[in-house]
Amino acid sequence: MSEKIVVTGGAGFIGSHIVEKLVGRGFEVSIFDNFSTGYIENIKSVKDRVKIVRGDIRCPEEVQKAVSGAKAVFHMAAFSYAEESIKKPEEYNRVNIDGTFNVLQACHKESVQRVIFPSTCLVYGANAASGKLEESLPLNTTNPYGLTKVTGENYCRVFTEVYGLETVCYRIFNAYGPRMQNRVISKFAALMFQDKPPIINGNGEQKRDFIFVSDIVDGLITGIDAKKSQCGKSYNIGTGKGLNLKKLIKLMNMHMGKNVDAIYKDRVKGETDLIIADTALARKELGFAAKIGFNEGIKITMDWLKEDYPKGPKF
């Protein structure tokens, strides 16, 4: 019999790609999702080969029932926008903190072996000014979303150390790729498709570590086979390279067949110039290294956005 793996938020952007990867590896996959931000069309390629459970991570009973019998849980369900979290801190607390506790508690009660938890580079906060970000840096997040992920990482560590539940956390940098929503690249594209200028806060020289979704999935998948000594720890998932926003716009124009210039406005208070992952620890302990370069990844993403844009995707 194949082993059961549950993916909370499995119909979302990254979650749906994880589901496809797990199905391809022969696992029995169950998706637990309330479809508030996930979509059935995201999992259309595997819909007939997975179990879909509609439920909410804010309900402990529903979570416990969903994870029963699983070997591992990828806990992808979350709200994930920093700006939105400032406006809706209570909702982020309930979903990202209470929901994560419910998942960990349910997995402990149901003797699930392992939980894979996606965190974010935003946990580093003000440390980003130091350049490449190492996992050993103190966590100084500056928004409620980042705080919920810091709390999630700490809960994972405690459940490993106190209850013996194996957890591995991954700090994901700037994710992009097919099925993305409401992220910088898709927001820029929505304007550029209409020949409208994208808006950059700052001079465009600020660099971000954009990592393609298939590389993120490869990184998260290492959590299945990670050693017990690596449980309770957090790892950066990035490319280790930075792309400035001016270059990003240039690449997008090239692959969209456009020539749209950006508008530059005052930079956001507190924003740093460099947010780039130090990937040495993930490479050494997990054997993870990103494979998709910026040019290739952005081409794939622009091709997907061009195909879906007339259908009215959620940018």
Across all residues in the chain, what is the average pLDDT?
Answer: 93
Residue 310: half-sphere exposure toward Cβ, Cα within 13 Å: 3
- The segment(s) of the chain belonging to CATH 3.90.25.10 are 176-209+241-275+292-311
Q: Cβ distance 170 to 152 under 8 Å?
A: no
Whether domain 4-174+211-237 has CATH 3.50.50.60: no
| Residue 128 reports pLDDT greater than 70 | no
- The segment(s) of the chain belonging to CATH 3.40.50.720 are 4-174+211-237
Q: Which of 295, 103, 116, 115 is nearest to 217 (CA)?
A: 116
Q: Cβ distance 32 to 18 under 8 Å?
A: no
Contacts for 186 with CB less than 8 Å, ≥ 6 apart: 176, 180, 305, 313, 315
Query: What predicted TM-score, i.e. pTM, was given to this entire model?
Result: 0.95
Whole-number Cα distances in Å, 186 to 13, 27, 296? 13, 32, 16
Q: Once rounded to an integer, what is the mean pLDDT over residues 54-60?
A: 98
* β-pair partners for 235: 170
> What would the pLDDT profile of 78-115 be if each residue is shown by its tens digit?
999 998 999 999 999 999 999 999 999 999 999 999 99
Q: Hey, which CATH number is domain 176-209+241-275+292-311, 3.40.50.300, 3.30.70.2860, 3.40.1280.10, 3.90.25.10?
A: 3.90.25.10
> What would the pLDDT profile of 298-315 be if each residue is shown by its tens digit?
999 999 988 765 554 454
CA 309, CA 313: separation in Å to the nearest integer? 6
